[in-house]
Structure 1
Amino acid sequence: SELNAVSQPAVPPADIHPLKPPDKGMIPVAFVISAGAVVIDFCGPWEVFQDVIVPGTMGTSAFDLYTVGETLDPIKASGGLQIVPDHTFQTAPQPKVIVIPAQNNSSPAMLDWIRKASKNADLTMSVCTGAIVLANTGLLAGKTATTHHDSYRTMALQYPDIHIQRGARFVDDGHLASSGGLSSGIDLAFHVVERYYGRDLATLTAYRMEYQGKGWQNPDSNVAYAPIPTGTAEHPLCPVCWMKLSKDMAMPVEYQGKTLYFCSQAHIDLFMASPAKFLNAK
């Protein structure tokens, strides 16, 4: 059988908090998007969920997927891909799973909708720096989360009441979950499938997709990103996020007689608003 053709990796299973699928019908999944939404962050999990077919359901997907935006106007995602949201925050059905990808900003209306919808959802999950959007709702306060490795430090400084787990492929506390950067969201989606339908169906879905990643079975598999980076004269660290930079590609700023190198204008602005916070933080 297809399942027998898939070898099981010798890694410890993630802690599984089983979720109960509906007795009938599909599981509604809302993807919250706005300008700059990173394509793999939402399309990766979308592909995983749409490919889950429960045996005996005549080939029907187990998940009902839709996008939610502030308006129905087209949204320009990363790379210029245009997405027309299926629903607004006023018209969106109540989801059982909420997916929050990385995106440029989070409006008050978006944050309010996530807070309210999360109360009756089985799971609210962020992908990459979508964790910052989730943090802005206040739902992560006092909890553990992860994000893209270049944002570990920035997020930890901005949200001191959230424990940032370095080197995690994903973090799942039952009702809230967050993944590392980009492709990590695919593994978190497989983990969600496993929570609803078990490892066998998640494995079969991965087999059908020809997906060979095993991170969904090992939440600590981003360990390569855990070490705190060190800079050099030629490759300094951005003072805000500690991203290792090439001098010829970085943005130099003179500060108190020293040249500091930044990865973006946004991080220059963050630094200049509170230099001591970044210079004194360890």
Structure 2
Amino acid sequence: MKRKQVAVLIYDGLCLFEFSCVAEIFGLERPEFGENWYQFHTMSLDGKPIKTQYKGNMEADLPILDWHDIDTIIVPGWTHIDQPVPKALASTLAKANTAGVRVMSICSGVFVLAAAGLLDGVAATTHWKYAETLQTRYPKIDVKNDVLFIDNEHILTSAGSAAGLDLCLHVVRKDYGNEIVNKVAKRLVIPPVRVGNQAQFIEQAVPKSKSHAIAPLLDKLRENLSLNYNNEQLAKEIHVTERTFLRRFKEATGTTPGEWLTQERIYYAKALLEQSDLSIDQVAVKSGFGTAMTLRHHFRLKMQISPQAYRKQFSKSVGL
């Protein structure tokens, strides 16, 4: 099998965090996976060295025009969303993608793909703070600001910086399968990524306010997700009125008790589906949904995939 060729675009002002995410996944030699692991390249517009955001120099392995042997081109966060994208870069990316090269962006790198016309008529995502600007500037794009990444086969986009890791691991899963991506993720001490372009949410597990009574309550709820709760009962737990409780809960978590519990129950259900042999009915009871029908309803609503399909893709755990 021919080694898959991955190139990351580098340019003056390069964001090192996003570059490092890409290099960590695709750039490290992994002899335990055999000789067919990715071959990694850096690619600049003209093949010349660039200066990163911290003024350090970085060499380019090849210019963007030498894309013909590359399988995947990754664009990390662009220097600035108002920084014009060179026409030569935009046109070359468009040609490469038309020829079958997979093109990916992380965070604000989506503006480079947009300038190349790659996102017209398709769904794309970026960091939430750039979503409105992206939609206004490129109205033909279906901008999604509530997902971590979107896979359109040969065009992939991710949300803010850390979501780039999710996207990169997703690509590893597509290229090499569950067993390999689980090993890579375990080495990084992070969970394997979730399904494709599903509606993925980021759990707000850490309270954002100084309401000290809410934090231990959240821990208690997580430990007892199978129980039923109501607002009056929870308010009594922290010795406040129901109205005060709802206000403090919203300040601490950014959402309502019901929505928070649903998110936590789905998170727990996902873990049970991945790591246990429990039936769907048993998962529903342990995670607090009560019935398989209720679990399926909320799981599909949040994840856009059924519990059975999720288990089929992610149930295999692999140790190192």
Same fold (TM over 0.5): yes
- CA distance in 1 between partners of 2:56 and 2:203 (Å): 31
Same amino acid, percent of matched pairs: 26
Asked whether the equivalents of residues 102 and 130 of structure 1 are also in contact (C-alpha less than 8 Å), the reply is: yes
Task: Give the match for residue 206 of structure 1.
Answer: 185
Q: Secondary structure at the match of 2:41?
A: strand
Map of 1:166 onto structure 2? 145
Indicate how the Cα distance of structure 1 residues 80 and 194 shifts in structure 2: closer, same or farther if over 3 A, else same. Answer: same
Contact 2:128 2:159 in 1 (8 A): yes
Within 5 Å, which residues of 2 pair with 1:252-267?
Answer: none
Q: 1:72 to 1:124 in 2, by over 3 A?
A: closer
Q: How many residues align?
A: 199
Given that 1:49 and 1:63 are in contact with CA atoms closer than 8 Å, whether structure 2 keeps it comes out as yes
Q: CA distance change for structure 1 residues 135 and 144 in 2, over 3 Å: closer, same or farther?
A: same
Q: Does 1:140 align with 2:115?
A: no
The unaligned stretches of length 5 or more in structure 1 are: 1-23, 226-282
What code does the residue aligned with 1:175 have?
H
Distance in 2 (CA, whole Å) between partners of 1:50 and 1:61 is 13
Superposed counterparts of 1:65-144, under 5 Å: 65-104=40-79, 105=83, 106-144=85-123
Name the amino acid aligned to 2:8.
F
Tell me how far apart the structure 2 counterparts of residues 87 and 99 of structure 1 sit (CA, whole Å).
14
CA deviation map 1:159-185 (0-9, x unaligned): 111011111110011111100011111
- Do residues 48 (structure 1) and 25 (structure 2) align? yes
Q: 1:54 to 1:144 in 2, by over 3 A?
A: farther
Q: Which secondary structure state, in structure 1, belongs to the residue aligned with residue 77 of structure 2?
A: coil
Q: Match for residue 185 of structure 1?
A: 164
Q: Distance in 1 between matches of 2:26 and 2:127?
A: 22
Q: Deviations over 1:48-90 (max 9, x none)?
A: 1234747662xx4611111111223321222333211111133
The 2-side partners of 1:127 and 1:97 are apart by 13
Give, in angstroms, the shift of residue 47 of structure 1: 0.9
Who wins on radius of gyration, i.e. which is larger? 2
Q: Judging by fraction of residues, say which structure has more strand.
A: 1
Q: Distance in 1 between matches of 2:127 and 2:33?
A: 38
TM-score between both structures, scaled by the size of structure 2: 0.57
Q: For the residues of structure 2 that align with 1:200 and 1:222, how far apart are their CA atoms?
A: 24
Instruction: Please state whether the residue corresponding to 2:54 is helix, strand or coil.
Output: helix
Find the aligned partners of 1:56 and 1:182 in 2 and give their Cα distance. 27
CA contact (8 A) 1:52 1:61 kept: no
- CA–CA distance in structure 2, aligned partners of residues 207 and 34 of structure 1: 31
1:32 CA drift (Å):
1.6
Q: Using CA pairs under 8 Å that are at least 6 residues apart, name the structure with larger relative contact order, 1 or 2.
A: 1
Q: Cα deviation per residue 1:240-269 (whole Å; 9 max; x = unaligned)?
A: xxxxxxxxxxxxxxxxxxxxxxxxxxxxxx
Q: Could you say what secondary structure the match of 2:100 adopts?
A: coil
- Report which of the two has the higher share of helix: 2
Question: Contact 2:41 / 2:61 at 8 angstroms: preserved in 1?
Answer: yes
